Amino acid sequence: MGAEAKNAGLSTRSKRLVVWSIVGITILVVALLGVVIYVTSMARKPSVEIISKNSSGEYQGTNYIVHVDATIFNRGADTTVTVFAKVREQTQFQTIWLGSNQAKTLSFTFSLSAESVMVYSVDVWAM
């Protein structure tokens, strides 16, 4: 009877060892999966750039109308982008959704007084 009790004790220890091994392996797998997901998400950040901008102008009555077209391209993950265009002191913006590897052209229209048209610059940026 003593030998049976000794064997029963070993089997309980073996069971505990198996359970704790499974728990340890599970924790390790979950931790590694978390690291892989984190690294993957960091690598797929949005990467938005202005790939072209064009402007043109025309007189309409006593005003000079400036048309600005900007093409935005997203090389990274899907994202919402706010695109700004500025002519003199006037700033306009548009918020758009851009998928991965997607481009979109936006148009902005500014009205300047005819006497202030001699010199102006156009700035476009995205955030």
Q: Tell me, what CATH number does 93's domain have?
A: 2.60.40.10
pTM of the model: 0.64
| CB proximity list for 52: less than 8 A, separation 6 or greater | 69, 70, 71
Q: What is the mean pLDDT of residues 38-58?
A: 84
Q: What pLDDT does 2 receive?
A: 54
Q: Are 53 and 73 in contact (CB under 8 A)?
A: no
Q: Give pLDDT tens digits for 61-93.
A: 889 999 999 999 999 889 999 999 999 889 999
Tokens of 71: 């093409």
Q: How many domains does the chain have?
A: 2
18 and 60 together in one domain: no
Mean pLDDT (the chain) is 87
| CB proximity list for 41: less than 8 A, separation 6 or greater | 77
Domain that holds residue 6: 1-43
Q: What pLDDT does 53 receive?
A: 96
